[in-house]
Amino acid sequence: MTFIFQMALWIHVVAGFTAIVVLWVPILTRKGNKLHRKSGWVFVISMASISVTAIYMGIYRLLWTPDIEAAARSFSWFLIFIAILSGASVWYGLRVLKFKRRNHPHRQLLDLLFPLALLVSSIAVMIYGWVIGFPLLQYFPIVGLFLGGTQLVYWVTVPKYRSHWVVEHISGMLASSIAAITAFVVFGAPRLLQVESVSLFIWFLPTIVFTPMIIVFTNYYGRKFAGKVPAAGRKRHG
């Protein structure tokens, strides 16, 4: 069991480093070209690896480490939550591309389960954070509530603009970037810098930096690909 945990840890570290390095390529390259697509898939595979290994390591520490300290237990719950957030966001970013031509509400169960899982886990972790008085768990799940809510609303409503898939794809991928960098700031940076604690502001810094980026990119590409979905099409499939 310890060997499997160590393997998961190494995969998690390598995938996390890869995701943080490569995420800038699809952000900065022309959307839709070969480099954008290939680097995007590297990022997606890295994020999927991060999510799976993080959930495993978090559960392992909670269930098979009986002498786990209170702080380590809190961070294990955060590790599981950030894995759900990153996994849900990167899945969302992929699936909106597959259904970019939809003009009716989306009802596929798997696509609805991811934002629902994010909403439920956000509420649960936030309650746990307030019970134990841990600020990171008290406030960071607000990000998950917002993302899970907006993703769910997007799927169950009729798109109003032709550029809806561009905007949502960018939002999903940048949101998963927030999760990846936040996890590094919370878990990786203190170990590299050999410090025991990091301020709450530093923990939220990736969210503070990337949220304006999401707004800028979605506004830019939303205008670039602007155009309303024909009303007749919405009515016909509604």
Q: What is the tens place of the pLDDT at every residue in 95-105?
A: 999 998 888 99
Which pLDDT belongs to residue 84?
94
Looking at residue 156, what is its pLDDT?
Answer: 94
Which residue is listed with tokens 């934002």? Answer: 115
pLDDT at position 229: 53
Q: Looking at the DSSP assignment, which residues form a beta bridge with residue 228?
A: 161
Question: What is the extent of the structural domain holding 200?
Answer: 2-237
Question: Residues 6 or more apart from 207 whose CB is under 8 A from it?
Answer: 140, 143, 178, 182
**Measured in Å, how far apart are the chain's first and last C-alpha atoms?**
51
Per DSSP, which regions of the chain are E strands? none
Distance of CA 42 to the CA centre of its chain: 15
Would you put residue 32 in left (φ > 0), alpha (ψ -120 to 50) or beta? left
pLDDT (tens digit, 0 to 9) for every residue of the chain, 238 residues total? 688 888 998 998 899 889 988 988 988 888 778 898 999 999 999 999 999 999 999 999 888 877 778 778 888 898 899 999 999 999 999 999 999 888 899 999 999 999 999 999 999 999 999 999 988 899 889 999 999 999 999 999 998 877 788 889 988 988 888 888 887 777 665 555 554 555 666 777 777 877 787 777 777 766 666 655 544 444 444 3
Please state the domain count of the chain.
1
What pLDDT, on the 0 to 100 scale, is given for residue 227? 55
Instruction: Determine the longest span between alpha carbons in the chain, in angstroms.
Output: 62
Residue pair 117/84 in contact by the 8 Å Cβ criterion: yes
Say what the pLDDT of residue 160 is.
81
**What is the pLDDT, as a whole number, of residue 94?**
93
